[in-house]
Chain A
Amino acid sequence: MITSGLTPVITEHWDKPDLYTIEGYRRVGGYQGLATAIKMDPDAIIGQIKDSGLRGRGGAGFPTGMKWGFVPQNDGKPHYLVVNADESEPGACKDIPIMLANPHALVEGVIIASYAIRASHAFIYIRGEVPHAIRKVAYAVEQARASGLIGENILGSGFSLDVVIHSGAGAYICGEETALLDSLEGYRGQPRLKPPFPAVAGLYASPTVINNAETIANIPYIVDRGVPWFRQFGTEKSPGFKVFSISGHVVRPGIYEAPLGITMSELLDYAGGIRGGGEVKFWLPGGSSVPMLTAEHLDIPLTYEDMAAAGTMLGTGTPMLFDNTVSVVKAVTRWLDFYKHESCGKCTPCREGTYWITGVLEKFEHGRGSAAEVDTLVNLCSQIAGRSFCALGDAAATPYPAALKYFRAEFEAATSTSADAQFDPVASYVFAEAATR
Chain B
Amino acid sequence: MTITSSAGSDITPQAQLVTIVVDGVAIQIPKGTLVIRAAELLGIEIPRFCDHPLLEPVAACRMCLVDIEGVPKPQPACAQVVSDGMQVRTQLTSPIARDAQEGVMEFLLLNHPLDCPVCDKGGECPLQNQAMSAGRPESRFEGEKRTFPKPINVSAQILLDRERCVSCARCTRFAEQIAGDPMLELLERGVRQQVGTAADQPFDSYFSGNTVQICPVGALTSAAYRFRSRPFDLVSVPTTCEHCASGCSLRTDHRRGTVTRRLAWDEPAVNEEWNCDKGRFAFTYQELGRVETPLIREDGQLRVASWPEALDFAARGLAAASSHGVLVGGRSTIEDAYAYARFARVALKTDNIDFRVRDSSDEEAQFLRSSVAGTAVRTTYETLEKAPVVVLIAFEPEDESPIVFLRLRKAARGGTRIYSVGAAATRGLAKMRGTLIPAKPGAEAAVLAELAEHVRVDLSTPGAVIMVGERIAGVEGGATAVLELARATGAALTWVPRRAGERGALDAGALAGLLPGGRPLTDDSARGAVAAAWGVDSLPATVGLAGTALLTAARDGAIGALITAGVELADLPDQILGRTAIEAVGFVVALENHHSAVTELADVVFPVAVVTEKSGTFINWEGRPRPFAQAFKDALVMSDAVVLGMLASAMNIVVGASDVAGIRRELGALGAWPGPRAEQPSSPAGQVVQGAYLVATWRELIDSGVMQEGEPYLAATAHAVAATVSVTTAGALGNPELVTVTGPLGSVTVSLQIGDVVDGVVCLPLNSPGCALYRDLGVRSGQAVTIEGAV
Chain A interface residue count: which class? 20 to 34
Query: Could you say which residues of chain B place their CB within 8 Å of the CB of A345?
Result: 167, 186, 188-193
Query: Mask for B65-107, Cβ within 8 A of A = 1, else 0?
Result: 1000000111000010000000000000000000110011011
Contact A349 B190 (CB under 8 A): no
Contact B189 A173 (CB under 8 A): yes
**Interface locus among A43-51, A210-218, A382-390:** A382-390
Answer yes or no: B140 CB below 8 A from chain A CBs.
Answer: yes
Among candidates A193, A351, A376, A389, residue contacting B190 with C-beta atoms closer than 8 Å: A351
Residue of B74, B79, B193 with most chain A CB atoms under a 10 A cut-off = B193
Residue of B58, B103, B167, B193 with most chain A CB atoms under a 10 A cut-off = B103
Contact B190 A343 (CB under 8 A): yes
Give how many A-B residue pairs fall within 8 Å (CB-CB): 94
Kindly provide the distance from the CB of B583 to the nearest chain A CB, expressed in whole angstroms: 62
With A353-B107, A383-B100, A383-B103 known to touch, is A347 a contact of B143 (CB < 8 Å)?
no
Answer yes or no: B61 CB below 8 A from chain A CBs.
Answer: yes
Query: Could you say which residues of chain A place their CB within 8 Å of the CB of B103?
Result: 349, 382-383, 387
Contact A171 B74 (CB under 8 A): no
Kindly provide the distance from the CB of A67 to the nearest chain B CB, expressed in whole angstroms: 21
Answer yes or no: B450 CB below 8 A from chain A CBs.
Answer: no
Contact A342 B189 (CB under 8 A): yes
With A352-B111, A353-B107, A386-B74 known to touch, is A344 a contact of B62 (CB < 8 Å)?
no
Query: Could you say which residues of chain A place their CB within 8 Å of the CB of B140?
Result: 376
With A193-B59, A348-B61, A387-B65 known to touch, is A360 a contact of B143 (CB < 8 Å)?
yes
Query: Mask for B594-606, Cβ within 8 A of A = 1, else 0?
Result: 0000000000000
Interface set, chain B 675-709, CB cutoff 8 A to A: none
Contact A387 B191 (CB under 8 A): no
Among candidates B62, B106, B111, B166, residue contacting A388 with C-beta atoms closer than 8 Å: B62
Query: Could you say which residues of chain A place their CB within 8 Å of the CB of B166?
Result: 348
Q: Whose C-beta in chain B lies nearest to the C-beta of A383?
A: B103
Among candidates B99, B141, B167, B187, residue contacting A351 with C-beta atoms closer than 8 Å: B167
Contact B191 A355 (CB under 8 A): yes
Contact B167 A346 (CB under 8 A): yes
Answer yes or no: A330 CB below 8 A from chain B CBs.
Answer: no
Residue of A345, A348, A356 with most chain B CB atoms under a 10 A cut-off = A348
Q: Whose C-beta in chain A lies nearest to the C-beta of B57?
A: A193
Answer yes or no: A341 CB below 8 A from chain B CBs.
Answer: yes
Interface set, chain B 133-151, CB cutoff 8 A to A: 140-141, 143-144, 146
Interface set, chain A 370-394, CB cutoff 8 A to B: 376, 382-383, 386-389
Kindly provide the distance from the CB of A25 to the nearest chain B CB, expressed in whole angstroms: 39
Answer yes or no: A354 CB below 8 A from chain B CBs.
Answer: yes
Distance between Cα atoms of A388 and B100 in the complex (Å): 10
Contact A340 B167 (CB under 8 A): no
Contact B107 A383 (CB under 8 A): yes
Interface set, chain B 160-217, CB cutoff 8 A to A: 166-167, 185-193
Contact B57 A348 (CB under 8 A): no
Contact B144 A348 (CB under 8 A): no
Answer yes or no: B483 CB below 8 A from chain A CBs.
Answer: no
Answer yes or no: B63 CB below 8 A from chain A CBs.
Answer: yes
Contact A352 B74 (CB under 8 A): no
With A356-B141, A388-B62 known to touch, is A348 a contact of B189 (CB < 8 Å)?
no
Q: Whose C-beta in chain B lies nearest to the C-beta of A172?
A: B189
Answer yes or no: B108 CB below 8 A from chain A CBs.
Answer: yes
Interface set, chain B 448-478, CB cutoff 8 A to A: none
Distance between Cα atoms of A345 and B191 in the complex (Å): 6
Among candidates A347, A356, A376, A382, residue contacting B61 with C-beta atoms closer than 8 Å: A347
Q: Whose C-beta in chain A lies nearest to the C-beta of B168?
A: A348
Residue of B59, B62, B188 with most chain A CB atoms under a 10 A cut-off = B62
Contact A351 B191 (CB under 8 A): yes
Contact A346 B60 (CB under 8 A): yes
Query: Could you say which residues of chain B place their CB within 8 Å of the CB of A188?
Result: 185-187
Answer yes or no: B638 CB below 8 A from chain A CBs.
Answer: no
Q: How many residues of B contact A (CB 8 A)?
A: 37
Query: Could you say which residues of chain B place their CB within 8 Å of the CB of A356?
Result: 107, 110, 141, 143
Query: What is the interface of chain A mostly: helix, strand, loop, or mixed?
Result: helix
With A193-B79, A355-B146 known to touch, is A348 a contact of B107 (CB < 8 Å)?
yes
Query: Could you say which residues of chain B place their CB within 8 Å of the CB of A389?
Result: 59-60, 62
Residue of B59, B107, B141, B187 with most chain A CB atoms under a 10 A cut-off = B107
Contact B58 A193 (CB under 8 A): yes
Answer yes or no: A42 CB below 8 A from chain B CBs.
Answer: no
Kindly provide the distance from the CB of B412 to the nearest chain A CB, expressed in whole angstroms: 17
Contact A340 B190 (CB under 8 A): yes
Query: Mask for B44-59, Cβ within 8 A of A = 1, else 0?
Result: 0000000000000111
Kindly provide the distance from the CB of B77 to the nearest chain A CB, expressed in whole angstroms: 13
Query: Could you say which residues of chain B place their CB within 8 Å of the CB of A97?
Result: none
Kindly provide the distance from the CB of A76 to the nearest chain B CB, expressed in whole angstroms: 17
Among candidates B62, B79, B146, B185, residue contacting A348 with C-beta atoms closer than 8 Å: B62
With A383-B100, A383-B106 known to touch, is A355 a contact of B58 (CB < 8 Å)?
no
Contact B110 A387 (CB under 8 A): no
Distance between Cα atoms of A348 and B110 in the complex (Å): 10
Answer yes or no: A359 CB below 8 A from chain B CBs.
Answer: yes
Query: Could you say which residues of chain B place their CB within 8 Å of the CB of A354?
Result: 190
Kindly provide the distance from the CB of A188 to the nearest chain B CB, expressed in whole angstroms: 7
With A193-B57, A386-B72, A386-B73 known to touch, is A347 a contact of B62 (CB < 8 Å)?
yes
Query: Could you say which residues of chain A place their CB within 8 Å of the CB of B186?
Result: 188, 345
Q: Whose C-beta in chain A lies nearest to the C-beta of B167?
A: A345
Query: Could you say which residues of chain B place their CB within 8 Å of the CB of A171?
Result: 189
Kindly provide the distance from the CB of A363 to the nearest chain B CB, expressed in whole angstroms: 8
Distance between Cα atoms of A383 and B102 in the complex (Å): 9
Q: Whose C-beta in chain A lies nearest to the C-beta of B59?
A: A193
Query: Could you say which residues of chain B place their CB within 8 Å of the CB of A340?
Result: 190-191
Kindly provide the distance from the CB of A178 to the nearest chain B CB, expressed in whole angstroms: 12
Interface set, chain A 39-82, CB cutoff 8 A to B: none
With A386-B74, A387-B74, A387-B103 known to touch, is A342 a contact of B60 (CB < 8 Å)?
no
Residue of B73, B144, B185 with most chain A CB atoms under a 10 A cut-off = B73
Kindly provide the distance from the CB of B46 to the nearest chain A CB, expressed in whole angstroms: 15
Query: Could you say which residues of chain A place their CB within 8 Å of the CB of B189?
Result: 171, 173, 342-345
Query: Could you say which residues of chain A place their CB within 8 Å of the CB of B104?
Result: 348-349, 383, 387
Query: Could you say which residues of chain A place their CB within 8 Å of the CB of B185?
Result: 188
Distance between Cα atoms of A171 and B190 in the complex (Å): 11
Distance between Cα atoms of A188 and B190 in the complex (Å): 13
Query: Could you say which residues of chain A place their CB within 8 Å of the CB of B108?
Result: 348, 352
Kindly provide the distance from the CB of B112 to the nearest chain A CB, expressed in whole angstroms: 9
Contact B111 A355 (CB under 8 A): yes
Residue of B110, B146, B185 with most chain A CB atoms under a 10 A cut-off = B110
Distance between Cα atoms of A343 and B166 in the complex (Å): 15
Distance between Cα atoms of A386 and B188 in the complex (Å): 24
Residue of A344, A354, A360, A387 with most chain B CB atoms under a 10 A cut-off = A387
Query: Could you say which residues of chain B place their CB within 8 Å of the CB of A382?
Result: 103
Query: Could you say which residues of chain A place their CB within 8 Å of the CB of B167?
Result: 345-346, 348, 351
With A193-B79, A348-B104, A360-B143 known to touch, is A355 a contact of B190 (CB < 8 Å)?
yes
Kindly provide the distance from the CB of A190 to the nearest chain B CB, expressed in whole angstroms: 8
Kindly provide the distance from the CB of B130 to the nearest chain A CB, expressed in whole angstroms: 13
Query: Could you say which residues of chain B place their CB within 8 Å of the CB of A387?
Result: 62, 65, 73-74, 100, 103-104
Distance between Cα atoms of A193 and B60 in the complex (Å): 9
Distance between Cα atoms of A173 and B186 in the complex (Å): 15
Distance between Cα atoms of A351 and B189 in the complex (Å): 8
With A345-B167, A348-B60 known to touch, is A359 a contact of B100 (CB < 8 Å)?
no
14 contacts between A and B (CB under 8 A): A171-B189, A173-B189, A193-B59, A343-B190, A343-B191, A345-B193, A346-B60, A348-B61, A349-B62, A352-B111, A359-B144, A386-B74, A388-B62, A389-B59
If A356-B141, A359-B143, A389-B59 are given as contacts, then 14 extra A-B residue pairs at C-beta distance below 8 Å, sorted by A number, are A193-B59, A340-B191, A341-B190, A342-B190, A347-B61, A348-B60, A348-B63, A348-B166, A349-B104, A349-B107, A352-B107, A352-B110, A352-B111, A387-B65
**Shortest beta-carbon contacts, A-B, top 6:** A345-B193, A383-B103, A352-B107, A386-B73, A359-B143, A343-B190
